[in-house]
DNA sequence: GCGTAATATTCCGCAATACGCAATCGATTT
DNA sequence: AAATCGATTGCGTATTGCGGAATATTACGC
């Protein structure tokens, strides 16, 4: 039998699955668990992990495995949007210091937003998105704006394609309502996320454009819903505008 | 012929080499260049890159390749020293804001220090180490302290093992001098790096210990040598002590 | 401290996998 | 329009990685 999918190498798929599996766990993971999680034969998992360890992608801690420091290096070198992150960072930190809540930088990738960077406040209860993690467009403030700018047709397309899965009881799951809501957000130049992705979490988002008017990124504030304040909208918009200037 | 090295999987070695090669370049890299850099047959490189792209480890930009966003995610999940980074981050930012220079968090790995995190000041000229990058112990402030704490014998061992390669004309390349210098640093509880790693760059470093007295990390300030100030030593020591408290 | 169970690691023969050649496709240049 | 250069794909083959079983190591119960 030939390759099931040309453009796919078994070992690389398996390696990725293993890395993912390790990443899902907080503490070092045993071979057995990893083999079970990925459905690989322990012996196979072992050999792949050993090779990955050789290459620093994985490290051993006692008898278990954790992600290797080389991934830190590679992660920090992901050049994609590097300029963007660099330009945004000080603005994000300033905004975070001003309001005392988490500030996120996101970009669109397919039907999701990806968290590129964030600035975390120094307080016990805060909202924290992991860098590199994803969320569907229709349950995030920035994502809804992106849907809005893409136009009604594209938004409806998205709705049908994804089926608008609900995450909380506040998520939009109806195409008509979403389209309606999204165009409203677009007009006001910002969007709220009212516990649509996770109960108790509220966001405010704005878009960042380049000179040509294309969407470059989204900037958002995430906070426990009861701490969120109206006034932040203007500050967030200012930060967005400032970022556009710095990129232009 | 059997595997040259059991515990090594060809594809994974090659994948890692390709990722490294991509990371070395700033802009998207063409297949040809990657194949040349890694010595792989273009067709082989292509297939591996295609598989890596499927898995999000690599992304395409036009006709070239760049590191994929999944590496961001994996990099951010490197659990190793996560608590440390988390605890150190606010202290580092405060210190950076106080003195206006780069603050680094490092750990030892073998004969090198690895940069775990850093806080960058908002100014045009600044020293910037990439997260995940490495430097030999004997040309960094923190590294010299680590050598000191390891004891004279271990330090001499290190000297012979590595041959003390020089990076600038100020690097220590003589075992005797290094041992001497290092024990001096240890006594004073901090170390300078006077353009020993890179001409024009000066550092100050301190060590961070856990309750049991083991070295957990190093904290350092990097600045253009002519901007470096004596006063920073105490502030850095304070930050180190504060971090020890927070970890304890 | 010993026996036992549970994992981790190594060995090995087999065949599926990934390799490299060569041919095709596509873009860019002259 | 031809030619050149790089990216991509198909294909037969040898190598590589596979998984079962054997062995080592660790953890645990008694």
- Whether B83 and chain A come into contact, CB under 8 Å, resolves to no
Q: What is the DSSP track for A147-173?
A: HHHH-HHHHHHHHHHH----SSTTS--
Domains of chain B: 10-74 (1.10.10.10), 79-247 (3.30.450.40)
Q: Which of strand D's nucleotides are less than 7 A from any protein C-beta?
A: 6-10, 15-21, 26-27
- Beta carbons within 10 angstroms of residue B28's beta carbon: 18
Strand-pair category, A64-67 with A201-209:
unpaired
Name the band, by pLDDT with cuts 50, 70 and 90, for residue A1: very low
* Interface test with chain A among B3, B4, B7, B9, by most A beta carbons within 10 Å: B9
Search chain A and give the residue with CA nearest B18: A74
pLDDT at residue A86 in the model: 87
pLDDT tens digits for range B215-227: 989 999 999 999 9
Q: Is there contact between A41 and strand D, defined as CB under 7 Å from any strand atom?
A: yes
Name the band, by pLDDT with cuts 50, 70 and 90, for residue A206: very high
pLDDT tens digits for range A8-30: 788 898 899 999 999 888 788 88
CA distance A198 to chain B (A): 20
How far is residue A131 CA from its own chain's centroid?
Answer: 6
Search chain B and give the residue with CA nearest A118: B76
**Residue B164: closest CA among B183, B186, B139:** B139
Beta bridge partners, B202, equal B194, B223
Name the band, by pLDDT with cuts 50, 70 and 90, for residue B134: confident
B233 vs A7: which has the higher pLDDT = B233
Mean local confidence (pLDDT), B56-68: 87
CA of A244: how far to CAs of A87, A142, A144, A209, A247, in Å?
A: 9, 16, 20, 6, 5
- Whether A14 and chain B come into contact, CB under 8 Å, resolves to no
Nearest to B67 among A19, A69, A79 (CB): A79
Name the band, by pLDDT with cuts 50, 70 and 90, for residue B241: very high
Nearest to A59 among B52, B57, B80 (CB): B80
pLDDT at residue B101 in the model: 95
pLDDT of B214 higher than 80: yes
Q: Which of strand C's nucleotides are less than 7 A from any protein C-beta?
A: 7-11, 16-22
pLDDT at residue A7 in the model: 60
Search chain A and give the residue with CA nearest B81: A69
**Residue B67: closest CA among A36, A30, A79:** A79
Contact B127, B101 (CB under 8 A): yes
Asked whether the beta carbons of residue B66 and residue A50 sit closer than 8 angstroms, the reply is no
Tell me how many residue pairs between chain A and chain B have CB atoms under 8 A apart: 165
CA distance B225 to chain A (A): 24
Residues 6 or more apart whose CB falls under 8 angstroms from that of B93 comprise A93, B103, B119
CA distance A213 to chain B (A): 20
Q: How far apart are CA A228 and CA B89, in angstroms?
A: 25
- The rounded percent of chain B whose pLDDT value lies above 70 is 97
pLDDT at residue A28 in the model: 87
Mean local confidence (pLDDT), A164-173: 94
Q: Which of residues 37-56 of B touch strand D (CB under 7 A)?
A: 42-43, 46-47, 50
pLDDT at residue A4 in the model: 43
Asked whether the beta carbons of residue B51 and residue A26 sit closer than 8 angstroms, the reply is no
Q: What is the DSSP track for chain B?
A: ---SSTT--HHHHHHHHHHHHHHH-SS-B-HHHHHHHHT--HHHHHHHHHHHHHTTSEEEETTEEEE-HHHHHHHHT--TTHHHHHHHHHHHHHHHHHH-SEEEEEEEETTEEEEEEEE--SSSS---PPTT-EEEGGGSHHHHHHHHHH-HHHHHHHHHHH----SSTTS---HHHHHHHHHHHHHHT-EEEESSSSTTEEEEEEEEE-TTS-EEEEEEEEEEGGG--TTHHHHHHHHHHHHHHHH-
Interface of B with A in 184-213 (CB under 8 A): none
């Amino acid at each position: 039998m030939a390759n099931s999918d040309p453009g796919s190498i078994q070992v690389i798929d398996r390696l990725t699955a293993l890395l993912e599996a390790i990443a899902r766990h907080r503490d070092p993971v045993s071979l057995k668990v990893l083999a079970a999680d990925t459905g690989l034969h322990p012996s196979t998992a072992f050999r792949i992990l050993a090779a990955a360890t050789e290459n620093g992608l994985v490290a051993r801690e006692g008898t278990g495995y954790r992600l290797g420091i080389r991934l830190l290096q590679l992660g920090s070198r992901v050049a994609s949007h590097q300029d963007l992150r660099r330009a945004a960072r000080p603005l994000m930190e300033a905004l975070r210091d001003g309001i005392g809540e988490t500030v996120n930088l996101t970009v669109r990738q397919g039907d999701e937003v990806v968290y590129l960077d964030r600035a975390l406040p120094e307080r016990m209860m805060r909202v924290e998105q992991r860098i590199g993690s994803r969320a569907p467009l229709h349950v995030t403030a920035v994502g809804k704006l992106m849907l809005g700018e893409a136009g009604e047709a594209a938004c409806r397309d998205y709705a049908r394609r994804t089926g608008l899965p609900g995450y909380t009881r506040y998520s939009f799951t109806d195409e008509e309502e979403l389209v309606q809501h999204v165009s409203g957000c677009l007009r006001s130049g910002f969007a709220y996320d009212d516990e649509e992705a996770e109960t108790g979490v509220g966001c405010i988002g704005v878009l960042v454009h380049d000179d040509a008017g294309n969407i470059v990124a989204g900037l958002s504030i995430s906070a426990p819903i009861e701490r969120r304040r109206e006034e932040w909208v203007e500050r967030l918009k200012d930060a967005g505008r400032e970022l556009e200037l710095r990129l232009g």
